[in-house]
Amino acid sequence: MSTPRIEVDLSKVRHNTQTVVKRLEKRGINVTGVTKASCGNPNVAEAMLCGGALGLADARLSNVQRLRTAGLTCPITLIRTPMLSQAEQVVQICDTSYNTEIVVIAALAAAAIRKNTVHDIILMVEMGDLREGILPENLATIAQYVMRLPGVALKGIGSNFACLSGIPPNASKMAALCDLATETEGVCGTFLKTVSGGGSASLPWALGRQSKGRINDLRLGEAILLGVDPVTGDQIGGLYTDAFTLVAEVIETDTEPVFPPANFGDPALVRLHLVPNSGHTTRLLLAIGYQDTDVSGLSMPSGHTFVDATSDHLVICTNRSPLPVGAELRFQMNYKALMQAMAAPDIDTRLLHDRSSMRSRDIQGTSKDLASV
Ligand SMILES: *Cc1c(COP(=O)(O)O)cnc(C)c1O
């Protein structure tokens, strides 16, 4: 089997999706499955749909293209505000996009008219995360602008929390977002179908006791893929944290004690954190490095500690009986490590528990059909 590789247990992705979908259903909130950390992997996307996600979202058009090329016809939303230069393709392959800039919305509208279609717009509102979004005081003006433009339809509003700021949403911020939805409807005279309350960082709020108000959508990536709360890093009860496992191969193992070279005073060598072998520890060299993943986001197997890494090597040490050259070691990844590893050209993906028999039905279904799967 080829290494390095990521083993994806699709039944765990399905289970995680199903679990959050069921919990949020009771609160009137739909789940949009965010595929970006899996680099738009169609099998992962399909597992999310199987688990009850009402559509998919990704930040990159290249990932959306992967999903479409694999035959997925479900609704797909672009959640990073589109590049002006990509307006044409956005309209071609995405049903909906999140937007903050009038000039981009105008380009999407023009492209949609040329294609004889209507592109749905969700306006992203800045509620304190300070990454992207329209300031609340400007929302009404931009919403009215969208309403007047042929080629686009105002589908809703949404916000983002805890991405740049690390601050999760609270009840008053969510209530403010709901009020904005109602105000926008008053000004525009239209019903906003979607009021999206953020990503995985909004789950604690969504599962809490307070009223959910108008919020009827969450865009979930990390919670589904890694089973953790992005703000605390804690496991979410009932979810698997090991749907994705990175497997790397040992290429060197030092069984003899290694002493630092005589010129250890050389600052370049000091940086290497050379760890001499003792009777208790062995250094292992693995064929994986920063070119493949964010090595600092790997959790070491028990009995193993991280020493250092370079572009192509990972150095760890162990107090266990040393593994031979050619042996494999397994690592869990955090979100950053996962998204880089899934995009790395030299890492293979091995799918476990693929439900290929359900493939055609789930992939082709509309979002309504999928809801009842
Ligand atoms: C990445 C992203 C999400 C999903 O975030 P998770 O923390 O992975 O759930 C949701 N919305 C936007 C705009 C994003 O960029």
CATH number of the domain within which 48 lies = 3.20.20.10
- Can you name the residues that pair with 157 across neighbouring β-strands? 123, 195
Q: What is the C-alpha to C-alpha distance for residues 313 and 331, in angstroms, rounded to an integer?
A: 15
The residue-averaged pLDDT of 339-352 equals: 97
The residue range of the domain holding 50 is: 9-226
Residue 360 falls inside a structural domain: no
- Predicted local confidence at residue 267, as pLDDT: 55
pLDDT > 60? residue 125: yes
Structure-derived torsion over alpha carbons of residues 59, 224, 39, 54, reported in degrees to the nearest 10: -60
- Predicted local confidence at residue 268, as pLDDT: 54
Q: How confident is the model at residue 257 (pLDDT cuts 50, 70, 90)?
A: low
Of 226, 253, 283, the domain-final residue:
226
pLDDT > 80? residue 261: no
Query: Residue for token digits 């306006």?
Result: 123
Q: What percent of the chain has pLDDT over 90?
A: 80
Long-range CB contact pairs, 163-166, < 8 A, 24+: 163/129, 163/131, 163/199, 163/201, 164/129, 164/130, 164/131, 165/128, 165/129, 165/130, 165/131, 166/231
Interstrand relation of 282-286 and 328-333 (parallel, antiparallel or unpaired): unpaired
Q: How confident is the model at residue 294 (pLDDT cuts 50, 70, 90)?
A: very high
Residues 248, 152 share a domain: no
Residues 287, 181 share a domain: no
CB of 230 closer than 6 angstroms to any ligand 1 atom: yes
Of 194, 226, 258, the domain-final residue:
226
The residue-averaged pLDDT of 352-367 equals: 56
Least confident of 260-274, 317-331, 335-349: 260-274
In ligand 1, which atom is closest to the CA atom of 196? 11
CA of 355 to the centre of ligand 1 (A): 26
In ligand 1, which atom is closest to the CA atom of 162? 7
pTM (2 decimals)?
Answer: 0.90
CA of 30 to the centre of ligand 1 (A): 15
Q: What is the C-alpha to C-alpha distance for residues 332 and 248, in angstroms, rounded to an integer?
A: 11
- Predicted local confidence at residue 370, as pLDDT: 33
CB of 229 closer than 6 angstroms to any ligand 1 atom: no
Q: What percent of the chain has pLDDT over 70?
A: 88
Residue 361 falls inside a structural domain: no
pLDDT > 80? residue 358: no
Residues 320, 281 share a domain: yes
- Predicted local confidence at residue 167, as pLDDT: 77
| Pairwise pLDDT comparison (176 vs 278), residue with the higher score | 176
CA of 31 to the centre of ligand 1 (A): 12
Q: How confident is the model at residue 284 (pLDDT cuts 50, 70, 90)?
A: very high
* Predicted confidence (pLDDT) per residue in 55-109, tens digit: 999 999 999 999 999 999 999 999 999 999 999 999 999 999 999 999 999 999 9
Residues 261, 209 share a domain: no
Residues 84, 178 share a domain: yes
Residues 287, 219 share a domain: no
DSSP state of 200: G
- Measure the N-to-C terminal CA separation of the chain; round to a whole number of Å: 34
Query: Residue for token digits 């609270």?
Result: 170
Residues 249, 204 share a domain: no
Residues 56, 87 share a domain: yes
Question: In 3D, which of 322, 335, 323 has the Cα closest to residue 296?
Answer: 335
Domain count for the chain: 2
Residues 309, 162 share a domain: no
Q: What is the C-alpha to C-alpha distance for residues 37 and 45, in angstroms, rounded to an integer?
A: 11
Q: What is the CATH number of the domain that holds 301?
A: 2.40.30
Residue 78 falls inside a structural domain: yes
- Residue 9, token pair as written in the block: 């247990």
- Predicted local confidence at residue 169, as pLDDT: 87
Helices marked H in the chain — which ranges? 10-25, 42-50, 61-69, 87-93, 102-114, 136-148, 171-188, 203-207, 222-226, 267-270, 335-343, 359-364, 367-371
Q: How buried is residue 113: exposed, middle or buried, by Cβ count under 10 Å (0-12/13-18/19+)?
A: middle
Q: How confident is the model at residue 353 (pLDDT cuts 50, 70, 90)?
A: very high
CA of 36 to the centre of ligand 1 (A): 8
Which residue's CA lies nearest to atom 5 of ligand 1? 199
In ligand 1, which atom is closest to the CA atom of 34? 4
Residue 290 half-sphere exposure, CB side, CA atoms within 13 Å? Answer: 5
User: For a substitution probing ligand 1, which of 60, 79, 231, 334 has the most ligand atoms within 8 Å of its CB?
Assistant: 79
Residues 252, 213 share a domain: no
In ligand 1, which atom is closest to the CA atom of 230? 7
- Predicted local confidence at residue 361, as pLDDT: 43
The residue-averaged pLDDT of 203-226 equals: 96
